Each structure stands twice: as structure tokens, then as C-alpha cells.
């Protein structure tokens, strides 16, 4: 008969102590790696900065695990190997981010003057112009797009989670929303362009058309994030409300939505941040102008991304001035998106259910 006993067979317990690398080991190997990289890779082999980086990294990922293997054993060595790998990829991911932020700040900082925020580009040649018109255009177009998208998106999510019951109709909607999430922004722009052409004739450009294009891009994001947030509301809370004799619609409005509002607002803010930087659809629908326009239903309206595009693409005679203004506008756009992200976090923590402890 097979021995199925799981009782311990040997009375000797495995030793619980093992060797340790000193605490400064990763730092020491790091210093060694830098030295090897610079001296051998950079100078001796003549690989320059790239050679130094590659050889330094190789030294790090080989020496530290090997040393650990000798002193600490195989399991710790694997841990060291993976740790080095994780830090390396983290570093790689940070490179474009830091580099982008640095480029935008360093090139755009010089353009930020009071007149830059007060003037439009109307009649401006060379210096003295500003992005006031584009800033207002971005704010108006995005605000109108938000006004269109949020009710549609949130109510769709409410239908899917609270009323859909995974029936055929709601599954079709979910599928279409997923498809819409992936449509290229230029297609959304073409859609809005074609739609407004039907009513206003060919070549129509207005801020509202841009808002419609952006809301086509925003709605799926809002639906998805709101849906996930509504799903997180525990069924217990809905049942608690039903058990008090509260009708379903009141339960949704007064219990489910307030409980999920922090997440929904965060999702909406991130969706706004995403569409605020769209260029292609706005180029088609809202067009380009040098003057200030506050009316989204009449005439062309420039937004920041379109302004940046046109300043680089068609700077005319004053290439230096226009390029510097484009960087300034890019910095403003990045700051707006960052502010929206911070706003999302603040709003999320303000609305989050409190424990009172």
C-alpha cells in the first residue's frame, strides 16, 4: 500500500539561519557597475554613453545575483535578479516622462508672459501675440463636450448596471461601447464633420461641431469608468434601501449614485483630460482662426492643440516666434491636463465615503 501519511518523517529541522549580503551590497554593486560602465564600456571599448549604460547595467544584473547566490543561496539570488529587473524597467519607463516634461518646461517657460495669456493672434505678425483665443477655445469646446457626454455616459452606465440585467440589448451596448473606445479620433472628427455638413452645408466649421466630435470620443470612456464604479457599489446597500420600501429609481439616485460619485467624477475628469489634447478631429470640425470667438455655434474656434499644430506647420515668416509660442501653448496644455488630474484626485477624496475615524 502506498504511504499516504503526511506526518513529518525526520526529526531534524532544517536550519533557519543563512548567510546575508551586507545592507550596502546593492549600492556597492551599483557603484561598481557605474565604474565598469564608464571605464570599460565608455572609454576602453569606445562605446560612448550607450556603451557605458549597457555595460553598467549588465554588470549590475550579473554581479549582484551571482554574489547573492554564493552567499545567500538560490532563492535570494532570484529575488535580487528580479529586483534589478523591476528597477531597470521602472527607470526605462521614467526616461520618456521626465524627458518630455523637461523639454516642454524648458522650451515653453520663456514664452509665458502676461501678454501671452491676454492677446489673441489677430493681426499679429512676429512677437506680441498670445494664446487667449486658443485657451478659451479649448475651455469652451471641452466644456460643451463634457456637457454632452456626462449625462449620456452616466445614464448609459446606470442602465447597463441597474436595469440591463445582462440581457441581449445591454450586451450589444457594452460591445458597441468597447468598439467606440477604440475608434481613431480622426474618424470621430470625420463623423462630426459629415453630420454638420448635412445641416449647415459643406465646409462648415464651428466649435460645437468640435464638441460633438470630442463627445464621441468621451462617451465610451465615461460609460466604462462609471460602469465599473457602479458595479463596485455593494448589493447590500441596494437591498438595504429596497427593504426600507424605497423604489428602485430612488435607490439608484439617492443611494447608488452618491456612493459611486467619487469614482464617476474621477473617471469623467480623466476623460476630459484625455480629449483636451485632441487635435485631428478639431482641425476638421472647429477649424483654425487667429481671433477670439466665444460662440461655439458660430464661426471657427481655435483650440490649443490646433494652435500648436498650425504654429509649427505654417509659421509663415516668423518661424522662431511661432515655434516658441507653440512650446508655450504646449506647456499650458500640459499644465491644464495636470491640473485636471489633480482635481480628479481632490474630488475623489472629497466625495469618498468617510469612516469618521
Partner 1 sequence: MAKSIDVSDLDIYYGDFLAVQGVTMSIKARAVTALIGPSGCGKSTFLRSLNRMHEVIPGARAEGKVMVDGQDLYDADVDPVAVRREIGMVFQRPNPFPTMSIYENVLAGKRLNATRLKKSDADDLVEKSLRGANLWSEVKDRLGKPGMGLSGGQQQRLCIARAIAVEPQVLLMDEPCSALDPISTAAIEDLIHELKSDYTIVIVTHNMQQAARVSDDTGFFNLKATGEPGHLVEFNPTKKMFTNPDNEATESYISGRFG
Rounded Cα gap, residues 227 and 174, in angstroms = 10
Binding of residue 247 to partner 1 (CB under 8 A): yes
Q: Which span (30-38, 66-74, 232-240, 309-317) binds partner 1, by CB under 8 A? A: 232-240
Q: Shortest approach of partner 1 to residue 342 CB, angstroms?
A: 23
189, three cell numbers:
472628427
Which are the contacts of 54, defined by CB distance < 8 A and separation ≥ 6?
A: 37, 41, 47
- Secondary structure class of 9 (helix, strand, coil): coil
User: Going residue by residue from 259 to 278, which x/- string records binding to partner 1, judged by CB under 8 A?
Assistant: x-------------------
Figure out which of the listed residues 150, 222, 255, 276 binds partner 1, where binding follows CB under 8 A.
255
Q: By C-beta, is 65 or 267 nearer to partner 1?
A: 267
Binding of residue 240 to partner 1 (CB under 8 A): yes
Binding of residue 317 to partner 1 (CB under 8 A): no
SS (H, E, C) 63-130: HHHHHHHHHHCHHHHHHHHHHHHHHHHHHHHHHHHHHHHHHHHHHHHHHCCHHHHHCCCCCCCCCCCC
Give, as ranges, the residues between 208 and 227 that touch partner 1 (CB under 8 A). Answer: none
Q: Shortest approach of partner 1 to residue 258 CB, angstroms?
A: 4
Binding of residue 239 to partner 1 (CB under 8 A): yes
Rounded Cα gap, residues 129 and 131, in angstroms = 7
Figure out which of the listed residues 241, 275, 322, 331 binds partner 1, where binding follows CB under 8 A.
241
Nearest to 188 by CA among 284, 324, 311, 63: 284
Q: Shortest approach of partner 1 to residue 167 CB, angstroms?
A: 10
Other CB atoms within 10 Å distance of the CB of residue 283: 20
Q: Cα angle at 117 between 113 and 121, to 5 degrees?
A: 105
Give, as ranges, the residues between 149 and 168 that touch partner 1 (CB under 8 A). Answer: 165
Q: Shortest approach of partner 1 to residue 267 CB, angstroms?
A: 18
Q: What is the DSSP string of 287-313?
A: ---SS----TTSS----HHHHHHHHHH
Binding of residue 355 to partner 1 (CB under 8 A): yes
Q: Which span (69-77, 181-189, 215-223, 252-260) binds partner 1, by CB under 8 A? A: 252-260
Rounded Cα gap, residues 197 and 203, in angstroms = 7
Binding of residue 238 to partner 1 (CB under 8 A): yes
Other CB atoms within 10 Å distance of the CB of residue 274: 16
Q: Shortest approach of partner 1 to residue 248 CB, angstroms?
A: 8
Figure out which of the listed residues 10, 203, 313, 357 binds partner 1, where binding follows CB under 8 A.
357
Figure out which of the listed residues 78, 231, 254, 345 binds partner 1, where binding follows CB under 8 A.
254
Q: Shortest approach of partner 1 to residue 269 CB, angstroms?
A: 20
Residues in the chain: 357
Q: Which span (63-71, 145-153, 204-212, 234-242) binds partner 1, by CB under 8 A? A: 234-242
Residues that bind partner 1 (CB under 8 A): 165, 234, 236-247, 250-251, 254-255, 258-259, 353-357
Amino acid at each position: 500500500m502506498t504511504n499516504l501519511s503526511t506526518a513529518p518523517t525526520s526529526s531534524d529541522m532544517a536550519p533557519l539561519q543563512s548567510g546575508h549580503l551586507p545592507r550596502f551590497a546593492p549600492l556597492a554593486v551599483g557603484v561598481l557597475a557605474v565604474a565598469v560602465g564608464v571605464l570599460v564600456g565608455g572609454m576602453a571599448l569606445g562605446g560612448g554613453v550607450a556603451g557605458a549604460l549597457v555595460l553598467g547595467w549588465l554588470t549590475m544584473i550579473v554581479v549582484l545575483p551571482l554574489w547573492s547566490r554564493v552567499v545567500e543561496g538560490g532563492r535570494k539570488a532570484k529575488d535580487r535578479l528580479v529586483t534589478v529587473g523591476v528597477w531597470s524597467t521602472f527607470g526605462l519607463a521614467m526616461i520618456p516622462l521626465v524627458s518630455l516634461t523637461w523639454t516642454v518646461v524648458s522650451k515653453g517657460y520663456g514664452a509665458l508672459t502676461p501678454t501671452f495669456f491676454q492677446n489673441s493672434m489677430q493681426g499679429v505678425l512676429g512677437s506680441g501675440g498670445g494664446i487667449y483665443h486658443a485657451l478659451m477655445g479649448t475651455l469652451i469646446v471641452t466644456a460643451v463636450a463634457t456637457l454632452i457626454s456626462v449625462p449620456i455616459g452616466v445614464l448609459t452606465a446606470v442602465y447597463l448596471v441597474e436595469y440591463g440585467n445582462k440581457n441581449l440589448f445591454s450586451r450589444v451596448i457594452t460591445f458597441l461601447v468597447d468598439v467606440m473606445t477604440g475608434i481613431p479620433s480622426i474618424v470621430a472628427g470625420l463623423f462630426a464633420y459629415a453630420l454638420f455638413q448635412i445641416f449647415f452645408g459643406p465646409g462648415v466649421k464651428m466649435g460645437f461641431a468640435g464638441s460633438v466630435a470630442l463627445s464621441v470620443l468621451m462617451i465610451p470612456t465615461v460609460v466604462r469608468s462609471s460602469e465599473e464604479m457602479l458595479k463596485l457599489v455593494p448589493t447590500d446597500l441596494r437591498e438595504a434601501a429596497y427593504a426600507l420600501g424605497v423604489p428602485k429609481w430612488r435607490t439608484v439616485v439617492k443611494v447608488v449614485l452618491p456612493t459611486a460619485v467619487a469614482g464617476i467624477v474621477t473617471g469623467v475628469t480623466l476623460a476630459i483630460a484625455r480629449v483636451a489634447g485632441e487635435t485631428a478631429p478639431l482641425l476638421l470640425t472647429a477649424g483654425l482662426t487667429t481671433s477670439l470667438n466665444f460662440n461655439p455655434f458660430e464661426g471657427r474656434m481655435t483650440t490649443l492643440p490646433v494652435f500648436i499644430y498650425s504654429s509649427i506647420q505654417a509659421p509663415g515668416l516668423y518661424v522662431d516666434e511661432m515655434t516658441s509660442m507653440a512650446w508655450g501653448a504646449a506647456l499650458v496644455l500640459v499644465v491644464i491636463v495636470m491640473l485636471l488630474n489633480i482635481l480628479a484626485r481632490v474630488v475623489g477624496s472629497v466625495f469618498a465615503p468617510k469612516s469618521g475615524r
